[in-house]
Structure 1
Amino acid sequence: MSESLMQNITPIGLLSAAIRRERERLNLSVTELAKRAGIAKSTLSQLEAGSGNPSLETLWALAMALDVPVSRLISQPSRQVQVIRAHEGTAAVSEQGNYAATLLATCPPGAQRDIYRLRVQPGEVKLSRPHPPGTVEHVIISSGRARLGPADQPQVLSAGDYISYSADREHVFEALEPETTAVMLIEQG
């Protein structure tokens, strides 16, 4: 899928297509899926039509009824480099309103993940050699600012921002402020 086409897909459009795809995969009618999920048929029809604003509980109920992780219903198509700023992403909000979850990345089947907490000071750029083929790094900046990503395409991120990129090529991390901290997840499949 082209980058420009991916940018035109709305979160509700992705959700709509995913619900329909998974419902049809199981050969379920709208009525049957609504019953299994414990939601109104009209709610499900609205979601499949690309309208509505489902609560986190509705998403979980649909995922359970479809026997898929919630991430399969709301994840974006994969990209070579993906940046999600702290204020971006589609949050699924709980019916109580005090809890929101924003999916940043899904784990492909058979993948292995390691999670690291980073503390980096300004100075020399950390240049990392390529990891094994298929390795992806996911980084969330906790505090400070950093320039990171593929060596030929680094991005500047601030606290709360997220990036993922192929780490099977040279990649860099450079703190732009003292005491920059981050969480890094390395995924190998």
Structure 2
Amino acid sequence: MDINQVVATNLKRIRDEKHVTLDQLAKSSGVSKGMLSQIEKGSTNPTINTLWKICTGLDIPYTLLMEQPAARFTIVKKDEAIYQSANDGHYRLYDYFQSMPHRNFEMFQVELDHGDSYTSIGHSHESEEYLMVLEGQLTLRVHDEDLVVDADDAISFDPMGKHVYTNSGDGVLKVMLINFYPTK
């Protein structure tokens, strides 16, 4: 995308989010209303100093005006997911989505071979774990309880302490796992 269009789109969006009119921004930034209008239309190539003035007037970081629009969708193929294994390869973890400043969760697919178990030492304070069994049967040991979760069923729990995943079904256990980190 053309940088002038990126700036135009971001300036209009930020101004709308902050409920700032062109007149108000012209006064706070020292950039004329006409110039601001041209920038928002993408019909001019503003100087770096002009953009700095606008950012100062909006009280935002300079790079916020240059931020490329987020993708409308993201497809992650299994062979592109970040892969890790444990227990001599009997426990496999595919990391599809990582936690980021704009995303307070991570999403994995877990595979556990027949008859095997995996012990997690626990996660950070105030996180939540959500599991959905896609194939097989999971026995989850959490808080000194054994809970059985069958295919197409889901469970959520506080993952702070040690918890154990056991494949108690036939074949490979496949689970979708989401770790959620509530914002404060």
- Structure with the greater alpha carbon radius of gyration: 2
| TM-score, normalised by the number of residues in structure 1 | 0.39
